[in-house]
Amino acid sequence: MAPVDTAARDDDHADERADIIKQLFEAQCELETTVMPRMAEELMTIPLTMQQLKVLAVLVTETDDNTVHGLATTLNVSLATMSGILDRLTTHGMATRTEDPTDHRVRRILATTEGRNIIRRLLVAQPQVDHAPVALLALDDLRALNQGVQALVHATRAATRDETSETPS
């Protein structure tokens, strides 16, 4: 038996594929609009300034190699400004400064568990699959949604690996 050429099969359905992708993006936009009030409400409960949130987001998403100088450069602010932001994040329990094991003059900046939880709260407030609407789906629709989301996760991981391997060291 000859192998199935999935690329050729997909080419036969290019218009349908484009229509489905368009519908998915439109549905995503509608979902985002629907949950926007909840996202804004969550943002208002966080006791940090926008600049502090930016720094915290960098701390959560970047490696453990963050320094005051590196963060100041990343966010295009002075060392004094960054130091003040980090003082406030530390006071709020969102970040810690630790001594670099190889150079005792350098302080590494890390997000605390509480800091990570703040960023997670903001991300969770974004459009997501909530339990209540999902519970209303017919079983076949639920299976299809699960299959689609799993495929999207797989494709996203593959794309991320591809981007990482293309990045020059």
CATH value at residue 96: 1.10.10.10
| pLDDT given for residue 152 in this prediction | 84
Chain centroid to CA 114 = 17
Same structural domain, 53 and 81:
yes
Same structural domain, 72 and 143:
no
Number of continuous H segments (helices) and E segments (strands) in the chain? 8, 2
Same structural domain, 66 and 101:
yes
| pLDDT given for residue 107 in this prediction | 87
pLDDT along the chain (169 residues), means of 10: 52 82 81 75 84 94 84 94 96 92 87 92 65 80 87 84 66
Q: How far apart are CA 134 and CA 80, in angstroms?
A: 49
| pLDDT given for residue 8 in this prediction | 53
Same structural domain, 109 and 141:
no
Instruction: Report yes or no on 23 lying in a domain.
Output: no
Q: How far apart are CA 34 and CA 28, in angstroms?
A: 10
Same structural domain, 119 and 159:
no
Overall domain count for the chain: 2
Task: Supply the pTM of this predicted model.
Answer: 0.60
| pLDDT given for residue 125 in this prediction | 60
| pLDDT given for residue 77 in this prediction | 96
Per the CB < 8 A criterion, the answer to whether 82 and 71 are in contact is: yes
Same structural domain, 46 and 124:
yes
Instruction: Report yes or no on 1 lying in a domain.
Output: no
Instruction: Report yes or no on 19 lying in a domain.
Output: no
| pLDDT given for residue 30 in this prediction | 78
Same structural domain, 64 and 144:
no
Instruction: Report yes or no on 20 lying in a domain.
Output: no
| pLDDT given for residue 160 in this prediction | 76
Q: Considering just the CA atoms, what is the radius of gyration of the chain in Å?
A: 22
Same structural domain, 40 and 122:
yes
Same structural domain, 110 and 135:
no
Chain centroid to CA 38 = 18
Q: SS3 for 57-78, per residue?
A: HHHHHCCCCCEHHHHHHHHCCC
Q: How far apart are CA 112 and CA 90, in angstroms?
A: 9
- Tokens standing for residue 40: 């804004």
Range of the domain at 152: 130-164
DSSP letters for 98-143? EE-SS-TT-EEEEE-HHHHHHHHHHHHTSS---HHHHHTS-HHHHH
Instruction: Report yes or no on 141 lying in a domain.
Output: yes
